[in-house]
């Protein structure tokens, strides 16, 4: 990776010299928005949405990854394994985790097709190369890749500039958190070519003990501009090295030392992921254009080392590790402690073609998309306390491959009946297949047969928008989306621990989403407010437990709902003082859910709960901010954040929950241009958790229930306990940005 960074630096420096004489007076605007026109919502679309502009990104982003960056928008709750927002981090939208949220970059699906998660640490600092980010809440409009079930996030990379630009971003903060990033744009060359490149390194030691991360990443674009067309190549990705910290700690441990991690210093991983995209857009005429894009993604995990300790209640036997028993003296040993290494090798390729048409009262988008995915999963034993003499180093325990294919087509129509009234229709057909193949090893015979799976979904949406006057508009939308279970929903592990001979062993989930909202915009006030009702059939929800490879254990719920109110508000009282608010209130319930609890002796007890609150779904999130601009070169911003109590499983037991928390963050931005004649230097000081709140934004439950007791009415009470993911106390990050 360092060699790649060195080569890119040389190329950028050469480009600076070679193209410095290019005529930068050309005012031709280089746009790439057309590549996402078909999958994004515009201001006329009756969709609940929020778009983070380039200016907001430059002010708010300091190095903590995208989940932290978007935390100020309605219904978002983020957390990171190490507590800093750098490294392994993720978010929930309306209480649903990232496996239920569609994420794309320039239309490329970023969700892993099998587990449908997004691993932001593989390509950290992506926000530096972003033009804007659009968040759609609810089923939204049709997009590429996994279904937009709880919402979607679409990132558009930076537009190529007409003029040369050179940017340096350097930051340092608490817990040895740091960020170094260099960007360069050539500007428009001969009115035909333009190039952009970025290299970055982001890292932290982590708030929790031995939970550090180092991520090196890049983004590069090259484009050719014809009279009617644009041909563009994008490449981005990176490599990460992280110490493991994805398990929580119990309350006694947290009270003693909240920075504790249950992992040892030598438990760590390394991941690499690279995305390549070739996109072509052609203007057929002034009313229509066509966009074609092909992409290729590679990913691998050369290391994911995990200490598997053998205990009386949870033995790691030689048989389960695909080894013969060990002979030590006259004794035959059947179990041992192990250091295991999980590995991945992935390939993902696909493409899409979109047609966009706009004339008078008609806006039409149509497209097709297809991709194929292959992922090898395997585990090796790197070390055993008493390794059998016949076992070679890196002994393979299992090896399996998942194959996932998808094809979809959609059509969208936005028709303006009058200047004030428009109707919107969106229909998608999506076909998905999954095939699993496991290698038969010498000792561990894999009898867990997994049948091939195929799904076909029809996902329709219908909406209306009414413009009352030049300031106020109202909208309503109803949509239905279904999606297939993930690989982890079936296996609850990295391989098939039990036969999956029926696709219906885990049912696919469906949501009927109803959204009603209003938008108000004047010179001083911007207000977006909406109510939503998401009615689910067979929703796949977290049970609270996390498996050995960091995925939540899940189960189907026959009937459930998420209903609420969301508010986004900006009031520019005058040019010196702004007030901002982003809040959500929701009820998240399962009509009936059965959870299974395992006792230490592996016996199983099922408990059924009725009208229970869904796990990790806070009812109230408030973001209240104030911005003061005393001078043109200075702004001061303070933000208050409140998140209500969250249950850690679906039992609605307050003893198994996360307490509510209150945070105050502050930011100071200073433009130093008046003191420097060269470039535009700015300094930002980000201070998080000023009041030193000791809080946990997320958590899980213990893998075993110590006891199953019964109350006076004979109702079973589980003995599961809470595990917490502590977040950092007061911390500071200072950033210098210098644009030339």
The fold adopted by the segment(s) 2-739 is: Maltoporin; Chain A (2.40.170)
Tokens representing 587 are: 């009820």
Burial 639-677 (b: 16+ CB within 10 A, else e): bbbebbebbbbbbbbeebbbeebebbbbbebbbeeeeee
**Is 276's pLDDT higher than 70?**
yes
Rounded to whole angstroms, the Cα distance separating 696 from 660 reads: 9
Q: What pLDDT score was predicted for residue 8?
A: 40
pLDDT band at 712 (very low <50, low <70, confident <90, very high): low
**Residue 371 Cα distances to 130, 366, 443, 576, angstroms:** 24, 17, 36, 50
Q: Tell me the domain boundaries of the chain.
A: 2-739
Coil/strand/helix, residue 595: strand
The string of DSSP letters for 465-496 reads EEE-SSSEEEEEEEEEEEEPPPHHHHHSSSS-
Residue pair 683/657 in contact (Cβ under 8 Å)? The answer is: no
pLDDT band at 709 (very low <50, low <70, confident <90, very high): low
Instruction: Looking at mean pLDDT, say which of 158-162, 524-528, 676-680 comes out highest.
Output: 524-528
pLDDT for 186-230, tens place per residue?
999 998 999 999 999 999 999 999 999 999 999 999 999 998 999
Residue pair 511/563 in contact (Cβ under 8 Å)? The answer is: no
Rounded to whole angstroms, the Cα distance separating 106 from 101 reads: 16
Rounded to whole angstroms, the Cα distance separating 532 from 514 reads: 6
Rounded to whole angstroms, the Cα distance separating 641 from 583 reads: 9
Extract long-range pairs of 52-58: CB within 8 Å, 24+ residues apart.
Answer: 52/132, 52/133, 52/134, 52/135, 53/132, 54/130, 54/131, 54/132, 54/158, 57/127, 57/130, 57/132, 57/133, 58/737
Beta-carbon contacts of 332 under 8 Å, excluding residues fewer than 6 positions away, are 325, 326
Task: Output the 3-class SS for 122-188.
Answer: HHCCHHHHEEEEEEEECCCCCCCCCCCCCEEEEEEECCCCCCCEEEEEEEEEHHHEEEEEEEEECCC
- Per the listing, tokens 């200047």 go with 419
Which residue would you say has higher pLDDT here, 13 or 448?
448
pLDDT band at 21 (very low <50, low <70, confident <90, very high): very low
Instruction: Quote the mean pLDDT of the chain.
Output: 90
**Residue 686 Cα distances to 173, 557, 636, 733, angstroms:** 9, 42, 10, 5
pLDDT band at 640 (very low <50, low <70, confident <90, very high): very high
Tokens representing 261 are: 């991690």
pLDDT band at 707 (very low <50, low <70, confident <90, very high): low
pLDDT for 604-632, tens place per residue?
677 889 999 999 999 999 999 999 999 99
At residue 91, φ and ψ (nearest 5 deg) are: -150, 165
């Amino acid at each position: 990776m360092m060699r790649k960074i060195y080569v890119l630096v040389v190329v950028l420096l050469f480009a600076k010299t070679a193209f410095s004489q290019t005529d930068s007076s050309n005012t031709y605007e280089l746009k790439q928005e057309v590549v996402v026109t078909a999958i994004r919502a515009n201001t006329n679309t009756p969709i609940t949405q929020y778009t983070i502009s380039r200016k907001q990104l430059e002010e708010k982003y300091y190095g903590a990854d995208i989940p932290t960056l978007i935390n100020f928008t309605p219904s978002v709750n983020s957390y990171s394994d190490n507590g800093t927002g750098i490294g392994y981090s993720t978010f929930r939208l309306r209480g649903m985790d990232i496996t239920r949220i569609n994420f794309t970059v320039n239309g490329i699906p970023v969700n892993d097709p099998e587990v449908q998660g997004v691993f932001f640490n593989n390509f950290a600092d992506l926000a530096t190369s972003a033009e804007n980010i659009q968040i759609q809440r609810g089923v939204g409009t049709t997009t590429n890749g996994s279904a937009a079930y709880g919402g979607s996030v679409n990132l558009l990379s930076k537009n190529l500039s007409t003029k040369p630009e050179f940017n340096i971003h350097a930051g340092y903060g608490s817990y040895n958190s740091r960020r170094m990033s260099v960007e360069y744009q050539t500007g428009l060359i001969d009115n035909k070519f333009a190039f952009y490149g970025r290299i970055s390194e982001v890292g932290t030691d982590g708030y929790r003990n031995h939970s550090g991360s180092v991520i090196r990443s890049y983004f590069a674009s090259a484009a050719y501009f014809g009279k009617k067309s644009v041909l563009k190549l994008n490449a981005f990705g990176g490599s990460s090295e992280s110490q493991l910290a994805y398990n929580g700690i119990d309350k006694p441990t947290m009270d003693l030392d909240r920075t504790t991690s249950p992992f040892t210093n030598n438990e760590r991983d390394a991941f690499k992921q690279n995305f390549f995209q070739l996109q072509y857009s052609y203007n057929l005429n002034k009313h229509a254009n066509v966009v074609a894009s092909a992409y290729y993604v590679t990913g691998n995990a050369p290391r994911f080392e995990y200490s598997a300790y053998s205990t009386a209640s949870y033995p790691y036997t030689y048989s389960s590790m695909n080894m013969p028993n060990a002979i030590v003296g006259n004794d035959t040993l059947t179990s041992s402690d192990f250091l295991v290494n999980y590995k991945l090798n992935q390939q993902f390729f696909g493409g899409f073609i979109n047609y966009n048409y706009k004339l008078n009262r008609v806006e039409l988008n149509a497209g097709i998309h297809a991709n194929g995915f292959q992922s090898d999963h395997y585990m090796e034993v790197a070390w055993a306390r008493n390794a059998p003499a016949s076992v070679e180093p890196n002994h393979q325990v299992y090896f399996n491959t998942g194959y996932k294919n998808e094809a979809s087509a959609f059509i969208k129509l936005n028709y303006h009946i009058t200047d004030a009234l428009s109707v919107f229709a969106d229909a998608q057909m999506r076909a998905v297949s999954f095939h699993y193949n496991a290698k038969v090893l010498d000792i561990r015979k894999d009898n867990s047969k997994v049948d091939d799976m195929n799904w076909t979904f029809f996902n329709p949406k219908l909406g209306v928008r009414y413009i009352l006057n030049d300031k106020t508009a109202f909208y309503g939308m109803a949509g239905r989306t279904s999606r297939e279970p993930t690989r982890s929903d079936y296996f609850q592990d990295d391989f098939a621990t039990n036969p999956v001979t029926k696709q219906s062993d885990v049912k696919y989930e469906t949501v009927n989403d109803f959204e009603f909202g209003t938008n108000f915009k004047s010179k001083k006030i911007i207000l977006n407010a909406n109510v939503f009702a998401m009615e689910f059939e067979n929703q796949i929800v977290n049970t609270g437990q996390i498996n050995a490879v960091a995925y939540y254990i899940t189960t189907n719920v026959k009937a459930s709902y998420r209903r609420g109110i969301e508010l986004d508000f900006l009031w520019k009282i005058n040019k010196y003082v702004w007030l901002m608010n982003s809040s959500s209130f929701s009820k998240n319930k399962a009509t009936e859910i059965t959870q299974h609890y395992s006792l230490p002796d592996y016996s199983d007890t099922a408990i059924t709960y009725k009208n229970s609150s869904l796990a990790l779904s806070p009812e109230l999130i408030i973001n209240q901010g104030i911005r003061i601009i005393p001078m043109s070169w200075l702004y001061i911003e303070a933000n208050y954040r409140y998140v209500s109590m969250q249950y850690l499983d679906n039992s609605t037991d307050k003893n198994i929950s996360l307490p509510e928390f209150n945070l105050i963050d502050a930011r100071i931005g200073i433009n130093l241009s008046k003191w420097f004649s060269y470039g535009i230097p700015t300094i930002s000081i980000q201070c998080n958790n000023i009041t030193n709140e000791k809080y946990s934004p997320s958590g899980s439950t213990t893998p075993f229930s110590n006891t199953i007791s019964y109350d006076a009415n004979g109702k079973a009470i589980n003995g599961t306990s809470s595990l917490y993911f502590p977040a950092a106390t007061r911390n500071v990050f200072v950033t210098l940005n210098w644009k030339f």
